[in-house]
């Protein structure tokens, strides 16, 4: 794993493209939009086995990618919060 220590950066003006919405809020908003679309659009029913298989595959992939990524950030002793990226103490350049 390559770890680079970052020097403190002077304050800079935020760009409109900066990540200002915390990921859990963004996920909740996305869920609300999906619920609205589900109510407004016709259903395309899938068998329970297909739905459960899709859930299981998504859950396993999230763990396969998420766990090693978080482990690399913890090993580097830096933040995983994308909203406070300016507070990161190191830059993790390897891993997933």
Q: What is the pLDDT of residue 34?
A: 95
Q: Would residue 71 count as lying in a domain?
A: yes
Q: What pLDDT does 18 receive? A: 63
**31 occurs within a structural domain:** no
Range of the domain at 58: 50-79+86-96
pLDDT band at 3 (very low <50, low <70, confident <90, very high): low
Mean pLDDT of the chain: 82
Residue 20 located in a structural domain: no
Instruction: Tell me how far apart the alpha carbons of residues 40 and 21 are, in angstroms, rounded to a whole number.
Output: 26
Which has more pLDDT, 93 or 62? 62
Residue 9 domain-assigned?
no
Work out how many domains the chain is built from and give that number: 1
Residue 5 phi/psi, 5-degree rounding, is: -80, 135
Stated pTM of the model: 0.47
pLDDT at 63 over 60: yes
How does residue 9 score in pLDDT terms, banded at 50, 70 and 90? low
């Amino acid at each position: 794993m390559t770890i680079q220590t970052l020097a403190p950066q002077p304050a800079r003006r935020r760009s409109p493209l900066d990540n200002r919405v915390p990921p859990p809020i963004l996920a909740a908003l996305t869920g609300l939009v999906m619920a609205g679309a589900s109510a407004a659009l016709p259903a395309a029913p899938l068998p329970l086995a297909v739905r459960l298989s899709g859930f299981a595959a998504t859950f396993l992939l999230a763990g396969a990618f998420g766990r090693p990524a978080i482990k690399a950030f913890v090993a580097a002793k830096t933040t995983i919060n994308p909203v406070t990226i300016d507070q990161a103490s190191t830059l993790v350049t390897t891993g997933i």
